[in-house]
Structures are given as structure tokens and as C-alpha cells.
Amino acid sequence: MPEAQEGVLHDVTALIAFINSVSVTCVNRDPAAAYTAAADRFFLFISELADKSVRYLSSWRPIDNADFEDRRSELQSIRAVWRHFHNFIKPTLDADTLHGPYSVLAGIIQRTRELPGLEGLDVAMFLTPEPNHIQVYVTSFHENALKIRALVPNAPLFPTNLALIGVPYSQDSTTFPNCLIAHELGHHIGNQKDLRTRLDEAANASIRAYFGAKYANADAVQRSVWIKTVGGWAEEIFCDLFGVLLLGPCFAYSYIEHFDLCSVLDSSGTISGDRLGEATRFYVGHPSHHFRVQQQAQILRASNWWEAVTSTGSHVSDLLRQSLEIDLAVYVSKDELGDLVHALIDILPQVRAEVGAVFNGADDGWNEYSQLATPVKSYLKYGVVPSSVVSVERTENQDALVVHPSPLVLLNAGMEFYLTEVGTLMRTVPKEDPSSCERRVHWVRRIEQWISKAIEDHLLMGGSA
């Protein structure tokens, strides 16, 4: 089949050229840019995979027409995977060590490594044009890496303990908004533990029980759409609860601020039913943000950290507290989506059990926080980086005890200070105007830098990431 052979040669050549053009960016990267060991592992994977893919394609020849019919789709599949990888390479190259929230990320990694079975976790970061962390679907990279391994002989295995996490490019030098990275890590860890299979099974059972005859009469495609919707919502809740258990209330505060959820508060600081209206709506792609905050508040209320929420005294912590009073019925719309919300509500105990299992035996960090939050905040009040704080004052009988607060304490105490004390800090500065939002931004950046520096110091002096 000379003509077909010519066509095959053309298609294979075009695919090799495409793979080369994608991978060459990893090989010829800017020598002045520095990357973390995790990013280097990612680049090495791409280079090795490109090498193996090109070798395989160079010898790709169907033996006859029947073989051609059977195997032509392979080329299409290999190209589809490389198109997918294409989306991540330049954004990962952009996230060199000068352009990414590295100290916050390193602090979050250190905290995650405290969890049983996650000691070897590593994270490569990429900068994304998405405005928020929680809509970056990171697990798709691992799925595509497995797909191509089934096609290309000796293709390298993408390390299962290497997470690929997207950070909005605008947040590369902020601190508190990046607490939302924990949500993405939740996706990675859920994926490692095959969480979605169990959540989809639970969703299926719940939908069957709730829908009755409607379920029995539905075809497989319809049922699959329902299961994917409820299973997807449950996974999002899992990731939020993971974030809260990993980082404490600062995760929920970042979430509330990012989505401007305080817009439902009236002038007295109370949730207004009228304002809440549309905000209670679920979408096929994600649950209502207020529903999600309510779930975060519930898991916090059952933990030691609730004391910190109730004593913070900010409108953001107030919203978190008040979210518990919202009747679940307001989330259940009078349509099919509302019926699916019912099915989700039925499986929430399983979602909580799944996230609880991840943290089984882990220290919740409350003890350290309750001892160090006050000194950390008083350091911030005087504009001092809280890297080494006095935990126990010196007495006649003993020396003072100086400790380096952990990222968990620094992020929570720092965020509470940011939510409640910016004005106080500014009033200590001569000629500063606490009513100027522009000047407040300046001081918020300073607070973030102090916290970020203290996290770096903690890692240098004891932890590692």
C-alpha cells in the first residue's frame, strides 16, 4: 500500500515534530532560572517520555491494511496526550523559584508530609491563568501519563508521589490566598487513594434510593450523568475538608475572601436571606460556595480549632460561624439538580469519614497554636518577623524557651492578624492613614512578607521541603 505508507510516514513525522517542539522547551530552558527538585523531576519525565515516544514512533509501521485499521488510532491517542502535556510545560517553566509562592508551598508540603503515608510527597508548581486554585484539575496529568504508558513501550512512570499544582499567576508573591493550594493537594491525595471510585459508588446507591422509580426507568447514560455530578460534588467537598483539616481556619478564611462570600452579610453583619438567594444555587460543575463553607464550618466546630474561629472577631470568621445556621433546605432547588443535592447530603458522612481517615493519628496542631498564636501576633504588631518567639518567659529558675513556630501556626495567627489588626498596626506608624485602602494594601503585603519569611526560617532551622 504505497499511498497509505506515504500517508503514514507523513502523519508519524508530523507527530514526532510536534513532540520535539513540546519537549525542547524543557531541554533548552533558561540556564539562569532555578527550579525545585520536584520541578526538575517533572522536566526529566517530559524529556524521557519524549525520547521514548520518538523512538517508538520512528519504527511505527503497520504491516498491512488490517493492521493499519487496527492501529491508526494509536497515533491520535499519543498526540492527544502530548497536547494535554503541552498545557503544563510552559506554565511550569514560568514557576521558577523567583516566580512562585515557594515558602507557603514549602510550608504546606511540610505539614502534609506529617500525615501517615504522605511522608514522600513532593509538589511541582505551575502558574495558571485561572483566577483561582480550586478549579485546576491536576489529576488529569497523572491519568494521561498512565494512558501513554500503555501505548509507548518503556515510557517512564510519572511518580505517584509527585503532585502537579496550579497557582494563579497573579498570586505568585502573596501568602494567605495560597492557603487554597491545600484544596488542590486534596485532589491529588484523593486520586492516589482511588477516592472517586468509592464516592461514585456511594453516589450511585444514594441516587438509587432517593430517586426510586425514576432511577429504575433511567438509562445507563442518564444514571452516569447523575453519578458523575454527585460524585464530583462530593470530591470537591472532600478537598475543602482536607484543606481545613490540613491548615485550620485560615483555609476557610481564604476561601470566603476569594469568592467574596461576605457579600451576603447585611449592614449589621448578619447573613441576609435575600442576599443569600442566588448564592445557594448548585451548579453541575460545583456545589454552592455557601454550602461548601457550611461543611467547612461543621468540621471545624467538631475540632479544637473552633475556639480560634469564635474568638477571632472578624466579619469573615463571623460568616463562617453563621453559615452553620443556614437551613440545608435552602440549597435544595425545586428541580432535578435539587434532587441530586439531596443525594449528596445523604453521603456527606462518608465524605467526612474519608477525609478523617487521611488524618487518622495526625496532630491537629492546636496545642502549638494555642501556645504560640498570641506571641506571633504581638511580634507582628511591632513589625517583627515572628521566626523565633518566646514561648515561656524566663524566670528565676529557668531560661526563656524560644521556639520557631510551624507554618500551621504562622498561617493561622498571621491570617487572624490580617483580618483584625491591620488598622492597629497602622496606628503605631507616624503619619500613616488607617482609613486609606491603598495604604492598607501596603501593610497587608508587609504582613504577608513577614509570615512568608518566618515560614522560610522555620524550614531552614528545622523542617525541610
Residue 219 beta carbon to Zn ion: minimum distance, rounded to whole angstroms: 29
Q: Which three cell numbers, joined as nine digits, stand for 55?
A: 523512538
Provide the minimum distance between the beta carbon of 134 and Zn ion in the complex, in angstroms, as a whole number: 5
Q: Which of 231, 405 has the CB closer to Zn ion?
A: 231
The distance of closest approach from Cβ of residue 463 to Zn ion in the complex, given in angstroms and rounded to an integer, is 27
Q: How far is CA 406 from the centre of its chain?
A: 20
Measured from the CB atom, is 287 or 405 closer to Zn ion? 287
| CB neighbour burial string for 320-352, b if at least 16 within 10 angstroms, e if fewer | bbbbeebeeebbbeeeeeebbbbbbbbbbebbb
CA 427 to chain centre: 36
The three grid cell numbers given for residue 267, joined into one nine-digit string:
449592614
Residues that bind Zn ion (CB under 5 A): 134, 236, 239
Show the beta-strand stretches assigned E in 300-377: none
- What are the angstrom distances between the C-alpha of 372 and each of 186, 366, 402? 27, 10, 10
Least separation in angstroms between CB 183 and Zn ion: 6
Q: Which is nearer to Zn ion, 236 or 448 (CB)?
A: 236
Are the C-beta atoms of residues 154 and 53 closer than 8 Å to each other?
no
Nearer to Zn ion, 140 or 310 (CB): 140
What is the Cα–Cα distance from 219 to 247, expressed in whole angstroms? 42
Based on CB atoms, which residue is closest to Zn ion, 200 or 456? Answer: 200
Question: Which of 96, 236 has the CB closer to Zn ion?
Answer: 236
Q: Which is nearer to Zn ion, 47 or 132 (CB)?
A: 132
Are the beta carbons of 452 and 175 closer than 8 angstroms?
Answer: yes
Q: Which residue is nearest to Zn ion (CB)?
A: 134
User: Three-state SS for 277?
Assistant: helix
By residue count, the chain amounts to 465
Least distance (Å) between residue 187 CB and Zn ion: 6
Closest CB 182 distance from Zn ion, rounded Å: 11
Q: Which residue has the cell 445507563?
A: 220
Closest CB 114 distance from Zn ion, rounded Å? 22
* Residue 343 CB contacts under 8 Å (≥ 6 apart), including other chains: 203, 206, 207, 210, 211, 226, 230
Distance CA 142, CA 163 (A): 9
User: Toward Zn ion, which CB reaches closer, 12 or 239?
Assistant: 239
How far apart are CB 135 and Zn ion at their closest, in Å? 7
